[in-house]
């Protein structure tokens, strides 16, 4: 058989965070027995988990609910805000409906009570992995859709620039482009010109401040 016809599946990258050394060790040993999964970082508190996520970019984080410096729920809020495609398994020494509800509210759908066994951990990882795949597909589709809209807006804006339009429709197009904090300076300049023509001095001042900030950042 041609080896390229059956490519090796990429391993899921896991971060473990727990303030109890024995739990960290046991969880790592269990993961070592699970196919296509690897531990890329181990943290002893929530703050470390957030920092290590930035360094290692794991697919899934396993977070203890109660940890010093930063608890598991707070840590995941920081993590998912920076890296929306990250999955999570929350672990705790006791089963709490309140904690499960709070976890579900921020996108954590797997909750294990310590001590758990390898079959429970493997099942949780499988569920998170499946959910992660769906989430990332949706994010990719959303990105493509947003990118298509952005390209269409830019094409229209270029036409309006050539025509020197400052009417209501042109204002709407340039304002939509300006909603992106990273938009090109020329769209802000065009919008500033329109606001000047329309004598919208308050809006002109706001755009002028953004242009000044953008120029200062480029010169740093």
CA distances to 16, 29, 76, 118, 175 from 26, rounded to whole Å, are 11, 5, 22, 10, 54
- Considering the domain architecture, whether residues 104 and 68 belong to the same structural domain is answered as yes
What is the tens place of the pLDDT at every residue in 84-109?
Answer: 889 999 999 988 899 999 999 998 98
Specify the residue for token string 């709070």: 102
Residue 88 sits in a domain whose CATH number is 3.40.50.2300
What is the tens place of the pLDDT at every residue in 2-58?
Answer: 444 444 557 899 999 999 999 999 999 999 999 999 999 999 999 999 999 988 989
- Considering the domain architecture, whether residues 64 and 111 belong to the same structural domain is answered as yes
**Domain housing 186:** 164-219
- Considering the domain architecture, whether residues 103 and 211 belong to the same structural domain is answered as no
Q: Which of 48-62, 64-78, 179-193 bottoms out in mean pLDDT, i.e. has the lowest?
A: 179-193
- Considering the domain architecture, whether residues 82 and 20 belong to the same structural domain is answered as yes
Q: What is the mean pLDDT of residues 159-187?
A: 86
Assigned domain for 25 exists: yes
**What was the pLDDT predicted at 2?**
41
Assigned domain for 169 exists: yes
* Average pLDDT score over the chain: 86
Q: Which residue has the higher pLDDT, 220 or 207?
A: 207
**What was the pLDDT predicted at 39?**
96
Helix (H, G, I), strand (E, B) or coil at 27: helix
What is the tens place of the pLDDT at every residue in 193-208?
Answer: 999 999 989 889 988 9
- Considering the domain architecture, whether residues 171 and 130 belong to the same structural domain is answered as no
Over pLDDT 70: what percentage of the chain?
86
Do the beta carbons of residue 53 and residue 42 sit within 8 Å? no
Assigned domain for 144 exists: no
CA–CA separation, 92 and 96 (whole Å): 9
Assigned domain for 153 exists: no
Class of residue 151 by CB neighbours under 10 A (exposed 0-12, middle 13-18, buried 19+): exposed
- Count of domains in the chain? 2
Assigned domain for 65 exists: yes
């Amino acid at each position: 058989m041609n080896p390229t016809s059956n490519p090796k599946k990429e391993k899921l990258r896991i971060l473990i965070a727990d303030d109890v050394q024995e739990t960290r060790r046991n969880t790592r040993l269990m993961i070592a027995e699970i196919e296509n999964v690897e531990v890329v970082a181990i943290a002893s508190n929530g703050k470390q988990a957030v920092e290590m996520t930035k360094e290692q970019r794991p697919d899934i984080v396993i977070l203890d609910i109660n940890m010093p410096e930063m608890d598991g729920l707070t840590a995941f809020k920081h993590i998912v805000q920076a890296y929306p495609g990250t999955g999570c398994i929350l672990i705790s020494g006791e089963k709490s409906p309140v904690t499960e509800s709070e976890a579900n509210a921020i996108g954590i759908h797997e909750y294990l009570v310590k001590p758990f066994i390898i079959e429970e951990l493997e099942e949780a990882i499988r569920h998170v992995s499946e959910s992660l795949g769906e989430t990332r597909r949706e994010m990719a589709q959303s990105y493509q859709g947003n990118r298509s809209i952005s390209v269409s807006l830019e094409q229209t804006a270029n036409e309006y620039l050539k025509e020197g339009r400052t009417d209501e429709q042109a204002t709407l197009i340039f304002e939509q482009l300006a909603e992106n904090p990273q938009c090109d300076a020329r769209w802000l300049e065009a919008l500033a010109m329109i606001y000047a023509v329309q004598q919208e001095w308050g809006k002109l001042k706001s755009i002028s401040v953004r242009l000044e900030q953008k120029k200062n950042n480029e010169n740093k």
